[in-house]
Amino acid sequence: MPRGDKSSYTDKQKRKAEHIEEGYEKRGTSHEEAERRAWATVNKESGGGNKSGSGRGKQENHESSRKGGHKGGSSQGGEKRSAAAKKGWETRRKNGNG
């Protein structure tokens, strides 16, 4: 089986990858990068291609789907804190209480 062959994936995995890919493309990711990320997510959640049939699959972990969009934080990181919160953090950091 050549590299990149998707024949060992179930229909459900293929649909899931397509849906994830569409989400990335809506957010401005190129088609190639969106497809790569989508299949990486499917592989991480389901452990790769599964053979069909009762009792042949493994349990899936959906942690990566739950994290999506939250893990990276935001570009405005420190700007969301008030001046008092920033000052308090600096004091705790200097005193070793943080």
Q: Is residue 37 included in any domain, yes or no?
A: yes
Q: Is residue 44 included in any domain, yes or no?
A: yes
Number of domains in the chain: 1
pLDDT at 74 over 60: no
pLDDT at 70 over 90: no
Q: Is residue 98 included in any domain, yes or no?
A: no
Predicted pLDDT of residue 48: 76
**76 HSE (CA, 13 A, CB side):** 4
Return mean pLDDT, the chain: 81
Is the separation of the CB atoms in 20 and 38 below 8 Å?
Answer: yes
CB-neighbour burial class of residue 36 (10 A; exposed 0-12, middle 13-18, buried 19+): middle
* Secondary structure class of 18 (helix, strand, coil): helix
Least confident piece of the model among 24-28, 48-52, 85-89, 90-94 = 48-52
> What does the alpha-carbon distance between residue 1 and residue 98 come to, in Å, rounded to a whole number?
53
pLDDT at 49 over 90: no
Predicted pLDDT of residue 1: 63
Q: Is residue 12 included in any domain, yes or no?
A: yes
pLDDT digits (tens, 9 = 90+) for 8-31: 888 888 999 999 999 999 999 999
Q: Is residue 39 included in any domain, yes or no?
A: yes
